[in-house]
Amino acid sequence: MEIIRVKDYAAMSEAASTFLIERINRLDNPKLGLATGSTPEGLYKNIIEKHKQGDVSFKNVKSFNLDEYVGLEKNDPNSYYFFMKDKLFDHVDISLDNVRVPNGVAADLQQECQDHEEAIKAAGGIDVQLLGIGANGHIGFNEPGTPFTSKTQVVNLDESTIQANSRFFNTIEEVPTQAISMGIDTIMNSKEILLLISGESKAEALAKLVSGEVTEEVPASVLNNHPNVTVIADEAAFSVVDGK
Ligand code: GLP
């Protein structure tokens, strides 16, 4: 695991966009695993800027999103499909035929999970998986205790995750209690992983990750077993590691 320490959120977003654009330009048909949340927003903004300057094209890119809330329609402003269109897809030259976000309102959610797995496999696997991290160490929506062998599945959200994500909703009751999430094994099958960590609220999670202990109680700790992981984290995220 390579850990790159940067000053702040802006520096993390800059380093992450340079990293991702290098891969998109180097690979013939890049397959990206994409993430939502506040963490990658700055990265997406930078990519849009660099796309406008002609530094990167998504013409040959296929993307697969990590997760989606169960019960939210694509056009719901809180759905991750909406987030991806709003923050990235609508502003770059990616074809919507080449993007896949799990469908949280599928009539058969189990089938949808299987379809997500199969679409990733049919594309030849994910080249670069982008990840954020939950304060409790979750990746995607894989909460503490999720088996490392898990594939894409319907998951129940932790109370702490519902609380954390309620900032995007009018009331906490509106936050879905379930999601479809790529599994830990799905994530680990990516050829390369880029994990972004910013802010003091993630400092505990970063400290657990770098402690080296691999446990299902800290889902992100599994990344210690992956051969090609880059973590870009800012000063605030290092506060616990630094003993502050
Ligand atoms: C959410 C998402 C994750 C994300 C994490 C952190 O619940 N499912 O994919 O990485 O929690 O979110 P944020 O970047 O907003 O802190």
The model's pLDDT over 144-180, given as tens digits with 9 standing for 90+, comes to 999 999 999 999 999 999 999 999 999 999 999 999 9
| Predicted confidence (pLDDT) per residue in 83-92, tens digit | 999 999 999 9
Q: Is the CB of 141 under 6 A from ligand 1?
A: yes
Q: Which residue has the least CA distance to atom 6 on ligand 1? A: 134
Q: For the whole model, what pTM was predicted?
A: 0.97
Query: CA 5 to CA 237: how far, in whole Å?
Result: 9
Å from CA of 58 to ligand 1 middle: 24
Residue 240 has a pLDDT of 97
| Predicted confidence (pLDDT) per residue in 178-214, tens digit | 999 999 999 999 999 999 999 999 999 999 999 999 9
With the most atoms of ligand 1 within 8 angstroms of its CB, the residue from 68, 157, 165, 196 to mutate is 165
pLDDT reading at 244 higher than 90: no
Both tokens of 36, joined, read 């939502």
CATH class for the domain made up of 2-238: alpha beta
What are the catalytic residues? Answer: 67, 136, 138, 143
Both tokens of 180, joined, read 């479809």
Residue 221 has a pLDDT of 98
Query: Could you give the angle at the alpha carbon of 185 between the alpha carbons of 182 and 189, nearest 5°?
Result: 95
| Predicted confidence (pLDDT) per residue in 1-43, tens digit | 999 999 999 999 999 999 999 999 999 999 999 999 999 999 9
Both tokens of 23, joined, read 């891969």
Q: Is the CB of 199 under 6 A from ligand 1?
A: no
For range 116-126, the mean pLDDT: 98
Other beta carbons less than 10 A from residue 238's beta carbon: 21
Closest ligand 1 atom, residue 165 Cα:
7
For range 37-58, the mean pLDDT: 98
